[in-house]
Amino acid sequence: MTSQPTPVLAVAGVSKSYAEGRQRRAVLNDVSFEVPAGECVALLGRSGSGKSTLLNLLAGIDKADAGDVAIMGRSVTAMGEPELTLLRRQHIGFIYQFFNLIATLTVAENLALPLELNGMPVDQRKQRVAAMLAKVGLDGREDAFPDQLSGGEQQRVAIARAIVHEPALVLADEPTGNLDARTGAVVLELLAQLFRDEGHTMILVTHSREVSAIADRILAVDNGRLSTQAEALSW
């Protein structure tokens, strides 16, 4: 009997609450799901539904009150900050709503930074950066600074930076939320194409049904609980 491969992400019985005065407000209640390698899962929910809290728990930025989060079979919940720093640096890519590019670094330097932190030699870094910029349609913009790029171009750089070190898991937080509708649609198409071609595993957090439609699977986050795609599309 063959054993099942370890999922890239496993969330088991996770609950989280925060103090509000003398009371505690439950934000997540007994959340469980798994994501195998190569799958894109959208966490779809309104503002305040708990999806951002869940993303922070997946990244180890916050700690659950109960339950466990594991990435590649390793418990994030049990890790200390030094281990978490290495996990994020080596195995997680982040795509943010507001780009979070380093303004004083060029496009190429922004992409090279995670590779440098992971100890990749200079020649290999240059080759990887050039290849990634070509994939996102920004070859020739290596020496530009972020403030010389449009919003859509900045998000293309941010997407490239998130996957340049070939992470096991990419966490995308409203990746088109800071773009106009037309630019957002172009960036979303690029993101979907990249993940189909490269086979990355991604958690996509969004309030938009249009954005969530690129995912292989949709989980709705509502009042701290997960529901199915059919239920997600009913609200």
Q: Determine the structural domain holding residue 115 and report its residue range.
A: 38-62+80-232
Task: Supply the pLDDT for residue 21.
Answer: 78
What's the rounded mean pLDDT across residues 192-215? 88
Which of the four pLDDT bands, split at 50, 70 and 90, describes residue 230?
A: very low
Percentages (nearest 5) of helix, strand, coil residues in the chain: 35, 25, 35
Q: Is residue 3 part of a domain?
A: no
Q: Is residue 114 part of a domain?
A: yes
The structural domain count of the chain equals 1
Q: What is the rounded distance in angstroms from the CA atom of residue 165 to the CA atom of residue 140?
A: 21
Nearest Cα to 143, choosing from 108, 95, 185? Answer: 108
What's the rounded mean pLDDT across residues 179-190? 85
pLDDT tens sequence across 80-102: 999 999 999 999 999 888 888 99
Q: Is residue 135 part of a domain?
A: yes
CATH number of the domain that residue 161 is part of: 3.40.50.300
pLDDT tens sequence across 56-69: 999 999 999 999 99
Which of the four pLDDT bands, split at 50, 70 and 90, describes residue 231?
A: low
Q: Is residue 75 part of a domain?
A: no
pLDDT tens sequence across 20-41: 878 888 889 999 999 999 999 9
Average pLDDT, the chain: 88
